[in-house]
Amino acid sequence: MVTDWLIHAGLVALYLFLAMVIGLLFMGIARKITARIQNRVGPPIYQNFLDLGKLLAKKTNIKHNWIFDFAPLFGLGGVLLILAYLPMGGYIMLSGQGDLILLLYILAIPALGFALGSGASGNPNAGVGVMRALTLMLSYEMPFLIVILSLMIFYNTASLSVLLQKQMNYLWGIAALPISALAADIALQGMMAEKPFDIPIAPHEIASGPLVEFGGKYLGLLMLYSAGSIVVETSLFVDLFLGGGIVLNPTVYGTLAYFVNYLVWLALIFVVWMIAIFVNAVFPRFRIEQAFKFYWKWPTVIAIAGLVQAYVMSVFLGVVP
């Protein structure tokens, strides 16, 4: 029993570590690809590891007060917590112990910590940046929550692990609810704060917004946070709509299945990330109220269409996955 727990904990730690590495690597790949789109060579893909190392090895660090420390602490701790609750490559981690709604609310922990820290810097740019980030959150959550609702209604579960199970046995979410998947992907762009929705950190207006006063190890840990967030957000989409990348049933194939599923999952989150990056490279940014209007208009309509589909299928047609 205790050994089981220890093995489980060790595996979770391994997965979390890998997730961080993947996040940093993805950031590097994104930089490289953006550079290629811009006719440049771009940095090596391991550049972000160097950046992170440099930031952590800075000789001096400043803070404004003790609340400032909330940002790196909650940012990193929170993002790891979210990752622990997200199934990665079919390995359900802790997600058997907490469902999607818990996950939705844990998502707020690192963001809130970050917002507290940047608010404590006393810089107006940070205040405006957080205001924009929160408004953006209100914007994209509208379609995203409706999408999650349609999934939960259709699959009749709020638990991610059960959702994966049902997707494996029945159909991937993207096949069953393609309209919702579309809305979710649009919402994902806002969730990742990539263009056209990167107004919270717009450097030309508010000098990188909430990040304005962070430097050294603070910035380093926040970089880890954003690396983790990339995995969280892409993986969330993959878990919700692409079956978490499960192609082999673990109960049948055992360890091999975990290995293969992990690779498939990795490929899928890479694809999701790439879509975001390509869109990011060729769009200017919306103003915040335009982003708000945009999200509460078309993606919401699409999401509601998806909800109607899920509702009709599950209530009137009696489809039970």
Partner 1 sequence: MDALTLFGIFVLLPLVGALVSYFGKKYAPIIAVIFTGISGIFLYLWYGNFGSYTIDIGVKLNLTFDITTWFFMLMMNTVIFSSLLFSVSSKLKRAGGFATLMLLGFAGANGVLLARDFLSLYLFWELMSWSIYLLVLRTSGEYARRYLLFGVLSAYLLIMGIGIIYYYTGSFLYADALSGAIPHAIWPWILTFLILGFGIKMAIVPFHVWAPYAYSSEQPFVAFLSGGLSKLGAFGIFMSMYSIAGISLLQSFGTFRGVSLMGYPFALLGAATAFIGTILAIFQDDIRKLLAYSSIGQLGYVMIGLGLGTPLAIGGAMFHAFNHAFFKSLLFLGAGAVIYRTGKYKISEMGGLGYRMPFTFMFVLFAIFALAGIPLTSGFISKWMLYEAAISRKFVIVAPLMLIASVGAYLYSYRILYGVFLGQLKDEDKNVKEAPGPMLAAMFILMVPLVIFSIVPGWILGWINKILVENGIGKLNYTTFSYSSAIGGANMAVFWIAFILLLIFAMLMFMAKKARVVDQYDNYLAGEAPPSVALHAAHNYYKPLRDTWAPLLKHSIDRAYEKFSKFFAGGFYEIKRIYTGNPQDYAAYLGIAFLAFLLVGWWLLW
Partner 2 sequence: MNENPLPSIIPDKEWKKIQRMLSKRSLWMIHFCTGCGAMEMPPVMTSRYDMERFGIIPMATPRQADLLLVTGYVATKTLKRIVRVYEQMQDPKYVIAFGSCPINGGIYWDSYNIIKRLDKYIPVDMYIAGCMPRPEAIMDAFLKLMKDIDEGKANGWMRYRKYYDQYRRNQMRIFKRWDE
Partner 3 sequence: MKEFELFIGPQHPGITGNFMYHLWVDGDTIVKAEAHPGYLHRGFEKLMERRTWQMNVALIPRICVPEPDVNEAVYAMAVESLMDWDIPERAKYIRTMVLEMARISSHLLTMGGYAGSIGLYTVGQWAVGDRDYLLDLFEQLTGARVYHIFIFPGGVRWDLPDGFLRKLEKVLNYLESRLEFYDKLLFANEVFFRRAPDVGVIPEDKAIEWGVTGPNLRACGYNYDIRKLDPYAAYPDLDFEIPHYPKFGDFEVLGHGCDCYSRMLVRRLEIEQSIKILRQVIKKMPEGPHTLKLPNPLAWKVPAGYAYARVESSKGEYGYFVISDGGKMPYRVHVRGPSYTHGINVTETIAKGLNIADFSQTIFSLDVCAPDIER
Which residues ranging from 188 to 227 are in contact with partner 3 (CB under 8 A)? 195-196, 198-199, 202-207
> Distance between CA 117 and CA 136 in Å, rounded?
19
97-136: contacts with partner 3 (CB under 8 A): 124-125, 127-128, 131
Report the residue number, 94 or 211, with the smaller CB distance to partner 2. 211
CA distances from 102 to 85, 106, 238 (A): 9, 6, 18
The CB-of-12 to partner 3 minimum distance in angstroms stands at: 38
27-86: contacts with partner 3 (CB under 8 A): 34, 37-40
The number of angstroms, rounded, from the C-alpha of 191 to the middle of its chain's C-alpha atoms is 7
In the Cβ-directed half-sphere of 135, how many Cα atoms lie within 13 Å?
20
The only residue of 51, 99, 194, 233 in contact with partner 2, by rule CB under 8 A = 51
The CB-of-132 to partner 3 minimum distance in angstroms stands at: 8
Which of these, 122, 23, 134, 35, lies nearest to 79 by C-alpha position?
23
The residue range among 1-9, 85-93, 112-120, 211-219 that interacts with partner 2, by the rule CB under 8 A, is: 211-219
The CB-of-277 to partner 3 minimum distance in angstroms stands at: 12
Report the residue number, 41 or 252, with the smaller CB distance to partner 3. 41
Helix orientation angle between 288-311 and 124-155, rounded to the nearest 10 degrees? 10
DSSP letter string, 165-222: HHHHHS--HHHH-HHHHHHHHHHHHHHTT-TTS-GGG-HHHHTTGGGGG--HHHHHHH
The CB-of-289 to partner 3 minimum distance in angstroms stands at: 8
> Distance between CA 269 and CA 233 in Å, rounded?
9
The CB-of-282 to partner 3 minimum distance in angstroms stands at: 6
Encode burial over 189-208: b for 16+ CB neighbours within 10 A, e otherwise.
bbbbbbbbbbbbbbeeebeb
- Contact between 224 and partner 2 by CB under 8 A: the answer reads no
The only residue of 24, 31, 95, 276 in contact with partner 2, by rule CB under 8 A = 31
Contact set with partner 3 (CB under 8 A): 34, 37-40, 124-125, 127-128, 131, 195-196, 198-199, 202-207, 281-288, 290
Contact set with partner 2 (CB under 8 A): 31, 35, 38-43, 47, 50-51, 53-54, 56-62, 203, 207-208, 211-217, 219
